[in-house]
């Protein structure tokens, strides 16, 4: 039961994760299908971000829009997507990579440091949280990264290790629980939303396939019509 409560808080804090995880453990089939449909609609809508779209995008969709944009870049060129991302895109996608490592009943933050897909983001993960103003999470990830190195290299666990800070006695269960707690208590989603809006130009696409550009114009016209 405690794990369900923790996950509930975590998902509530990071709204954009609702597009990737079930919103509730016991939601019905119809609700799951609806969530999947909404996911696909938003994925199609935000794969390409036309200049100005984040100014009219609902605030609750801002991080999802930025994330779908980044996911599309990865799908377009998986081998080189990281090199082609700017720092703002890497910031959003790095946080997404952490959240994907926390799926499942026995989720552990350690998975982020072990997964080959996450490796490009490991050296910059502390800076990522600093950039969005989540300083407590940055300190936590610094210690977690060091602890992962200790395990990988079979080093002795030194309580005076400066990189471990206040987390010298933590194991990865502790790190995982603390991460979830900090996400739920430090308003991370709002910080990430504001970060995207402050760096919105970094997420805009200026070379959009004609069919996607046409669809984007039609969607914008529908939105304006609905507002009228």
How far is Cα 124 from Cα 163, in angstroms, rounded to an integer?
A: 15
pTM for this predicted structure: 0.77
pLDDT digits (tens, 9 = 90+) for 57-95: 999 999 999 999 999 999 999 999 999 999 999 999 999
pLDDT of 38 > 60? The answer is yes
The single-letter DSSP state of residue 28 is: -
List for the chain the helix, strand, coil content (%; round to 5): 70, 0, 30
Tally the domains of the chain. Answer: 1
Residues of the domain holding 143: 2-227
How far is Cα 113 from Cα 107, in angstroms, rounded to an integer?
A: 13
């Amino acid at each position: 039961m405690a794990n369900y409560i923790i996950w509930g808080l975590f998902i509530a804090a990071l709204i954009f994760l609702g597009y990737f995880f079930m919103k509730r453990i016991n939601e019905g089939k119809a609700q799951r299908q609806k969530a999947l449909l909404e996911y696909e609609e938003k994925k199609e809508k935000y794969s390409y971000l036309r200049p100005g779209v984040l100014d009219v995008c609902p605030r609750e969709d801002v991080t999802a829009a930025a994330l779908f944009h980044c996911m599309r870049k990865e799908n377009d060129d998986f081998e080189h997507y990281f090199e082609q991302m700017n720092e703002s895109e890497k910031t959003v996608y790095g946080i997404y990579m952490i959240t994907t490592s926390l799926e499942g009943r026995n989720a552990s933050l350690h998975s982020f440091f072990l997964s080959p897909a996450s490796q490009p983001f490991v050296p910059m993960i502390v800076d990522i949280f600093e950039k969005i103003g989540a300083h407590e999470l940055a300190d936590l990830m610094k210690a977690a990264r060091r602890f992962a190195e200790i395990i990988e290299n079979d080093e002795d666990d030194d309580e005076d290790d400066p990189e471990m800070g206040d987390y010298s006695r933590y194991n990865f269960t502790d790190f995982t629980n603390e991460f979830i707690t900090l996400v739920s208590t430090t308003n991370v989603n709002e910080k990430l939303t504001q970060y995207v809006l402050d760096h919105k130009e970094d997420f805009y696409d200026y070379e959009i396939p004609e069919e996607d550009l046409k669809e984007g114009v039609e969607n914008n016209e529908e939105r304006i019509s609905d507002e009228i």
